[in-house]
Amino acid sequence: MHLKLALLSIVFGFTRGACTQVHLHLGLRGHSGLNGQCPGGRNDRGHYKSGPGPYQINITSSEGTLTMNDVMFGDVWLCSGQSNMQFTTSMVFNASEEVTDANNYPDIRLFTVALKWSNRTLYELTEYPIGLIATTWGGTPVEAWSSQDAMNICEPEKAGLTDARTNQKPLDKRTNQTVSNGIFTGNEPAPQNTPTQLWKAMVHPMLNLTIYGAIWYQGEANAGAPELYKCRFPVMIFDWRAKFNEGSSGQTDPNFPFGFVQLASWRNDSTITKGFPDIRWRQTSDFGYVPNPQMPYTFMAVAMDLPDFTSPYNSIHPRDKQDIADRLLLSALPVAYNVTSLGRYQGPLVSKVTYSNASLMIEFDTQIEIRTKDGFEVCCATSKYSKCDGSDQAVWIAAPIMKSSPQSVTLLICNSSLGLTRGFRYAWRESPCAFKKCAIYSRPDMNSLPMGPYIKIELDPLKYLPHVY
């Protein structure tokens, strides 16, 4: 068992009796309380501040005695999402080595994919136990993990529950379902895919816990209808923070750190530009990076450059969780623990864009490593009001890097026959590149982190000139 080390930890539980007095002892310290069914009573919880342990907790009441051994106090992280968070360590690359290595970390509890995220560096830096609570369900949308309060904020009349794999209601498990040519069909979504269901069943019961933070790997089930994710995801994060803070009597930080994995690649098809690219962008609330003004105290691992097209678990489930875990941990340290000694924690970010008559120059906030000249595109439109969203005749054309400096790249723009250059995008594909072979990374001495997908459409038509060359 794990309880949070920082601040105070709450021990809470339930009794069968209508009115029961409960006595709890942690070592030599005791606490007594009445449950909420007693006159003048309440759902009482003991608060404890202690060292890492291990401890024994004894709980007694008229219903009997319960003893919990080997209880540790440390940082507790909630690990949630769909099947890629559910992915077990036995399924990753070099699984036997990972399982053997786990024996070196007995104070990290719960051996799942999340374990790899938190072992080694995090454990060695904090030097106290790490507790992981896995609450996951494969194939589920963000709406299922959202409370009704959160659902009410983001256009509640629009469910947004369409899976990228089927372009229908959420994947895998439906009532009355059949399968035809690999496509799931059915009359209604399964209960776990309906809004608020997993919030009620798998998050709400834990609100009394004191947690340090949360990590999240989800989005595939929303990729078929990504528009609302820009609202749903950050609102869910804010809602979780508020409710965990209230449920723990203020012991869980109201701004606890929240990390997530940006969707990895899926199918080996470089022509797919819808679904996953849109969700990746929405996962950052259309900023392309976190933390940002809409998503404070968040951190992210970019995973689009880690395809696993031969995964026996379907290529939507890449086996290289080690690189994902390392990137997520690196991004977590400055946000969650104020540790900056390991250097850069995210890939290059666009800092400035300059248009000329024949080219555009993109500058970055750090020095870059270029691994291929491909990956950028420019939008060419005959209308200076085009949004390059498929609603008119605008076209996206490849714009290979024609020139570069240590901190910038230069691209050719649209010629006169194609119209005006309305904007550019980067890595806007479901599977944009081969393994670790996208175009832009931070330099090796800056942790070799990939630039995330990016899109910029110039909304001010007065800034646009006809580019003739």
Asked if pLDDT for residue 294 goes beyond 60, the answer is yes
Asked if pLDDT for residue 77 goes beyond 60, the answer is yes
Cβ atoms within 10 Å, residue 148: 12
Q: Label residue 93 by pLDDT band (50, 70, 90).
A: low
- Is position 287 within any domain? yes
In terms of domains, do 267 and 170 share one? yes
Tell me how far the alpha carbon of residue 375 is from its chain's centroid: 24
In terms of domains, do 95 and 229 share one? yes
Q: Write the secondary structure of the chain as one string of H (helix), E (strand) and C (coil).
A: CEEECCCCEEECCCCCCCCCEEEEEECCEEEEEECCCCCCCCCCCEEECCCCCCEEEEEEECCEEEEEEEEEEEEEEEEEECHHHHCCHHHCCCHHHHHHHHCCCCCEECCCHHHHHHCCHHHHHHCCCEEEEEEECCCCCHHHHCCHHHHHHCCCCCCCCCECCCCECCCCCEECCEEECCEEECCEECHHHCCCHHHHHHHHHHCCCCCCEEEEECCHHHCCCCCCHHHHHHHHHHHHHHHHHHHCCCCCCCCCCEEEECCCCCCCCCCCCCCHHHHHHHHCCCCCCCCECCECCEEEECCCCCCCCCCCCCCCCCCCHHHHHHHHHHHHHHHHCCCCCCCCCCCCCEEEEEECCCEEEEEECCCEEECCCCCEEEEEECCCCCCCCCCCCCEEEECCEEEEECCEEEEECCCCCCCEEEEEEECCCCCCCCCCCCCEEECHHHCCCECCCEEEECCCHHHCCCCCC
Q: Label residue 191 by pLDDT band (50, 70, 90).
A: confident
In terms of domains, do 264 and 357 share one? no
In terms of domains, do 258 and 376 share one? no
In terms of domains, do 386 and 319 share one? no
In terms of domains, do 330 and 358 share one? no
Q: 0.75 exceeded by the pTM?
A: yes
The pLDDT of residue 288: 97
Asked if pLDDT for residue 437 goes beyond 70, the answer is yes
- Is position 96 within any domain? yes
Asked if pLDDT for residue 28 goes beyond 70, the answer is no
Region 253-257: mean pLDDT is 96
Region 436-441: mean pLDDT is 98
- Is position 438 within any domain? yes
In terms of domains, do 280 and 358 share one? no
Asked if pLDDT for residue 423 goes beyond 80, the answer is yes
The pLDDT of residue 72: 77
Show the domain range for 301: 74-336
Per the structure, the count of domains in the chain is 2
Higher pLDDT, 321 or 437: 437
Region 168-190: mean pLDDT is 43
In terms of domains, do 312 and 412 share one? no
- Is position 59 within any domain? no
The pLDDT of residue 358: 86
In terms of domains, do 455 and 393 share one? yes
The pLDDT of residue 170: 38
**Hey, what amino acid is at 39?**
P
In terms of domains, do 327 and 304 share one? yes
In terms of domains, do 287 and 160 share one? yes
The pLDDT of residue 38: 55
Cα distance between residue 320 and residue 65, in whole Å? 45
- Is position 33 within any domain? no
In terms of domains, do 436 and 458 share one? yes
